[in-house]
Amino acid sequence: MGIRSGDLVGTATSHEIRTRYRAVYRGVRMPAAAAIGLIDRIEAALQLYPDAVLCGWTAAALHGVAYTANRPVEIWLPARRARRGIVVRCGAMPDDDVLVREALPLTTGVRTAVDLTRYVEGDDGIAALDQCLRADRYGRAMTTRDEVAAYLGRATVTCTGRIGSGARCGGPTDVRNRHPRRTRGCCSIAPV
């Protein structure tokens, strides 16, 4: 596990910090001789953002999906943040879409597959979904085509069901005001 840089300041000189430790991310360091792997980067990200949920390629790696190496850690936060080396996603995250595996909060298999399809561009998004549906050498897949279809169907029905037949131009705002979210939070999304 990494050490917060602020904690080192009281116990080591700046020269010792520079020579004996290296940064995992700005604000978290590890001993210089230690190899920094995925779990180290995940733990460092969770030290910086304790309310984060692991998502995207990071969640896929923890679910056992192949071809996830050498990708930045992806996290979900209720409010937009930026930090070099960490991909931060922001949006609605229902509690049902989060599970805890070995004390790490991450998105469910189906939510991870949907997120990868949504955020990975072009044919790589199709390949990402294929990897999520592909069975490993033990015959286990992260999710199934039916689970993805059911998840997307529920999300569509939930969204359209809240709009109602009396929707007018300001409909989405009306929906947000009338139906409080029972999720982990959401940041505002600016129109593109």
pLDDT more than 70, % of the chain: 81
Query: Minimal CA–CA distance to 77: which of 89, 94, 59?
Result: 89
pLDDT in the model for residue 2: 82
Identify whether the C-beta of residue 99 lies closer than 8 Å to the C-beta of residue 143: no
* 88 belongs to a structural domain: yes
* 177 belongs to a structural domain: no
The answer on 70 and 30 residing in a single domain is no
The more confident residue out of 165 and 134 is: 134
- For the segment 49-87, what is each residue's pLDDT rounded down to a tens digit? 999 999 999 999 999 998 888 999 999 998 888 889 999
- For the segment 89-104, what is each residue's pLDDT rounded down to a tens digit? 998 899 999 999 999 9
- For the segment 15-41, what is each residue's pLDDT rounded down to a tens digit? 888 889 998 999 899 999 999 999 999
The answer on 55 and 29 residing in a single domain is no
The more confident residue out of 174 and 44 is: 44
pLDDT in the model for residue 157: 58
The answer on 25 and 61 residing in a single domain is no
Q: What is the DSSP string of the chain?
A: --EEHHHHHTTS-HHHHHHHEEEEETTEEEETTS---HHHHHHHHHHH-TT-EE-HHHHHHHTT-SS-TT--EEEEESS---BTTEEEEES--BGGGEEEETTEEEE-HHHHHHHHHHHS-HHHHHHHHHHHHS--TTS--S--HHHHHHHHHHHHHHHHHHH-TT--TTHHHHHHHHS---BS--------
Measured between alpha carbons, how far is 75 from 53 in angstroms, rounded to an integer?
A: 5
Mean pLDDT along residues 146-171: 65
Residue 6: which domain range?
1-36
Q: Is the pLDDT of residue 113 over 90?
A: yes
Number of domains in the chain: 2
